[in-house]
Structure 1
C-alpha cells in the first residue's frame, strides 16, 4: 500500500542560493535592528541636549544656550534621517526578491 501524501508532494530541488539569500536577509535584519537602536539612542541623547540648551536659554546664557539647542536639533534631524535610511533598506528586500523571482 502506497502512502499517497508522499507521492503527491515531491521534495523541492535543492537550491544553494536560497540559503545565501536567507543569510543575507538575516544579516540585513540584524543591521536594521542595530541601526534603529542606534538612531533611537542618538535621538534621545540629542533631545536631552536640546532641552539642556533650552534651559540655558531660560537662565539667560543666550550664546551657550542657542549653540547647544541648535547642535541638539541638527543632530536629531541627522539621526532621524539615519533611521529612515535603515527602514528604506529593509523595504527594498521584498522588492528585490520579487524582481529576481
Structure 2
C-alpha cells in the first residue's frame, strides 16, 4: 500500500502528484489516493487506485505497530482504477503480504 497526495509522494519518487494521477488514469483529488498493491484471482500482481483513505491509513498504522490485520476489500464504489502490476512506489505490505513474498523480518 502507498498513499499519494498533492503535498506528499512516496519516498524515492521524483514524480509529482498531478503527473502520477495522469499516469494512473484518475483525477487529482485534494485528499489524494490510496494505492493497494494486491494479487488477482490468477495470482497476478495488480494495483487498485482507491478513495478509501481512512481505511488505508488505519491499516498502515496497525501494520506499523506489528498488528497482523489482513487487508480488507474496498467497496466497489471506492475503486477508481485497477492496473496490471505494482507501482513500486515504496509500498508497505501487510504481514500476510510479507509472508507471501518471503519478506518476513524485512521492512
User: Does the TM-score normalized on the shorter chain lie above 0.5?
Assistant: no
Higher strand share: 2
Q: Please tell me whether Structure 1 or Structure 2 has the larger radius of gyration of its CA atoms.
A: 1
Q: Which has the higher helix share?
A: 1
Q: TM-score when scaled to structure 1?
A: 0.21
